[in-house]
Structure 1
Amino acid sequence: MFDLKELERAHGIVGKAVPPTPAHAWPLLAERLGTRVIVKHENHTPTSAFKVRGGLVYLDRLKRERPNTPGIISATRGNHGQSLAFAAGRHGLPVTIYVPHGNSAEQNRAIRGFGAELVEHGEDFQAAREEAYRRAETNGLEIVPAFHPDLVLGVATYALELLRRAPDLDVLYVPIGQGSGICGCILARDLLGLKTEIIGVQSTEAPSFALSFAAGAVVTTKTSNTRADGVATRIPDADAVAIICKGASRVVQVTDDEIASAMRAYWTDTHNLAEGAGAVALAAALQEKKKLQGKRVGLVLSGGNIDFDRFRRWVGPDAVAADQPAMA
């Protein structure tokens, strides 16, 4: 999909707007997991999520190769839309973003805040995406898919940062929503010639990529009812499935309760706010804790965009004490 020179060039493009994000070794998380752990903080970007990197690289190529494009359009549950709105604003390009009804109110405000026209349509992401494609064809707009080589190239820059800082990671847990993040990690690892085991993570309520990985081909689901909207995918991209099947070790499924516990752990152990999708990597590591002893573990905290009310419902004060690790 790209070589190391292209990845480094993309890192330069991203770096004009997004400084390298931190990768911290948190002692309380290490105590909780019983092994060494490093967290890549993609919740520390201008949009509080990793996808901004992909938007910047996509828009850079678009403006160079098709400067007369009248505008872009896409569908999202939040972070992808913020990414495109942020990047398009830097180029003065109009952007329209479709979201499903009931989408995060705070995500919607953020997308509008970056200058996008926001349209609510349908009951889930797939319905919003299909309508965005119809409007793109009708109005002559550039449709930006949820998975595209330039999006993967952009988000792979966080993997480049992490794996160059910590080339001795034994295992890296990565959330899977539309697939750009884990595919970027797989490709960056391979370009750097490393042996890090990459493990994808999905919700048990939206397991399309997990099912596809097991089958070795695209498997769709009828619903995606997880509260972690960033990983609520019903129809996986075939190219993403191919890369994941070739380069990932496995795909772990975690429950919404496990995700909520991981969100609480991030808050209590690091004082970082993680959205549901941002916490799934830690949820999977906690589920596989016994397998990780003696290994150096990487976790991608992919984003921190969650409504306050939703966070309060997921992470109530009565539940915090139950998740505290026992102290010696």
Structure 2
Amino acid sequence: MTSYADIVQAHKRIADKIHQTPIIESSLLNNWLGSRVLFKAECLQRTGAFKVRGAINILSKLAEQDALPEQIVANSSGNHAQAVAYAASLFGVQAKIFSTEGVSAVKAQATQYYGAELALYPTRLAADEAVYQASLATGTLWIPPFNHPDIIAGQGTLLLDALEQTGDVDAIFAPCGGGGLLSGTVLTARERCPLAKVFGAEPLAANDAAESMRQNKIIKLAQPPLTLADGAATPSVGEHTFPLLKTLDGIVEVSESDIAYWTQWLQHLLKLHIEPTSAMSMQAVVNWLKSVPRGQTVLVLLSGGNIDHIKMKQVWSKDYLCQLPSL
């Protein structure tokens, strides 16, 4: 299992290869909610998302061991694809990405721009089977999007960076897809900021993590989910992430209307290009703030900012800015 020591090593390993993204806040939002909400703007990271941390960590570690593969393969709905493509280019390794035909056009174009070959399949299951078959070739490394100790360690560096900027906070919030970011986050939090609560947020329409927590076993979605938060549309968490997710203080299931609401408001207030997957964490923030005294300091990990015009049209199909945020 990944340890905090692994995250510290990953932090040293990738420090000169990533951006130190800023902490941003909105005085209006703070006033409306009666607490201070700090946002780690990882949407400004290289490739536009936190995923590059894990991908660079796994390849940097292999480079240290003089064990880089001849080819990398990966399966992804978008952000991990870009991260692997970018990391592979840093180390001069060929990469092939397996995804679905419904992948975001922005993420697909960026993946190819970084030099990776992109293979598209009708379903996530078909793409997953194809990447498995490709991984059997000699000299090929399969980098999964979340279910790997070195990926979890790399993602855990996001909170480590954030807490170096903010100091201790009362609660930490991040989105949950396969659980790589949240797993690294809860590991870092328990060591670096042990009094802080740590919560995840996932779409109600893709709530496999919450259902897995309720049943105390990994539950897989019966069919591909329809959600604005495409970065959290994974079919299930993994055997590496699930034990760590069980140490969270909770996972909040967020409706599609609330995902759209907070995407609009965060884009408006923070003046950042923020993915719905990132924005949905704010509903978990509001739910928690209703149960505690005013004056809290919370940290929200804005995991990415890659959103194409089709998704933007869906998000803005109804105007939510006439409804002010409140508790």
Q: Normalising to structure 2: TM-score of the pair? A: 0.92
For residue 71 of structure 2, what is the amino acid of its counterpart? G
- On the 8 A contact 1:263/1:273 being kept in 2, the answer is no
TM alignment of 1:198-277, pairs within 5 A: 198-223=198-223, 224-245=225-246, 247-277=247-277
Q: Secondary structure of the equivalent of 2:234?
A: coil
Structure 2 distance, partners of 1:165, 1:78, is 28
Aligned-partner SS, 1:237: coil
Distance in 1 (alpha carbons) for counterparts of 2:5 and 2:236: 32
Partner of 1:58: 58
Once residues 257 and 189 of structure 1 are traced to their aligned partners in structure 2, the CA distance between those partners, rounded to angstroms, is: 30
1:1-328 equivalences under 5 Å are 1-2=1-2, 4-65=4-65, 67=67, 69-124=69-124, 126-138=125-137, 140-146=139-145, 147-192=147-192, 194-223=194-223, 224-245=225-246, 247-292=247-292, 293-316=294-317, 319-325=319-325
Deviation of 1:290 after TM superposition, in Å, equals 1.6
| Whole-angstrom CA distance in 2 between matches of 1:3 and 1:132 | 28
Number of aligned residue pairs: give it: 323
Aligned-pair identity (%)? 27
Q: Which amino acid aligns with 2:260?
A: A
> How far apart in 2 are the matches of 1:133 and 1:3?
27
Deviation at 1:32, TM superposition (A): 3.6
**C-alpha displacement at 1:161, in angstroms?**
1.4
Q: How far does residue 8 in structure 1 lie from its aligned partner after superposition? A: 3.1
Residues 174, 278 of structure 2: 8 Å contact kept: no
Partner letter of residue 127 of structure 1?
A: A
Contact 1:226–1:256 at 8 Å: present in 2 too? yes
Question: Per the alignment, do residues 98 and 32 of structure 1 end up closer, same or farther by CA in structure 2, a change over 3 Å counting?
Answer: farther
One-letter code of the match for 1:135?
Answer: A
Provide the C-alpha distance between the structure 1 equivalents of 2:8 and 2:188, rounded to a whole number of angstroms: 10
The more displaced of 14-23 and 196-205 is: 14-23
| Separation of aligned partners in 2, 1:233 and 1:102 | 14
Quickly say closer, same or farther: Cα 1:3–1:314, change in 2 above 3 A.
closer
Q: Distance in 2 between matches of 1:262 and 1:32?
A: 14
**Structure 1 unaligned residues grouped into runs of 5+:** none
> Partners in 1 of 2:283 and 2:105 — Cα distance?
25
Contact 1:74 1:144 in 2 (8 A): yes
Q: Deviations over 1:226-267 (max 9, x none)?
A: 12110002222022111111x201110001111110111111
Distance 1:193 1:35 in 2: 19
1:279 to partner: Cα distance: 1.0
Q: Which has the larger displacement, 83-92 or 236-245?
A: 236-245
Q: Amino acid of the residue matched to residue 134 of structure 1?
A: Q
The TM-score normalised by the length of structure 1 is 0.92
User: Is the Cα–Cα contact under 8 Å of residues 264 and 321 in structure 2 kept in the other structure?
Assistant: no
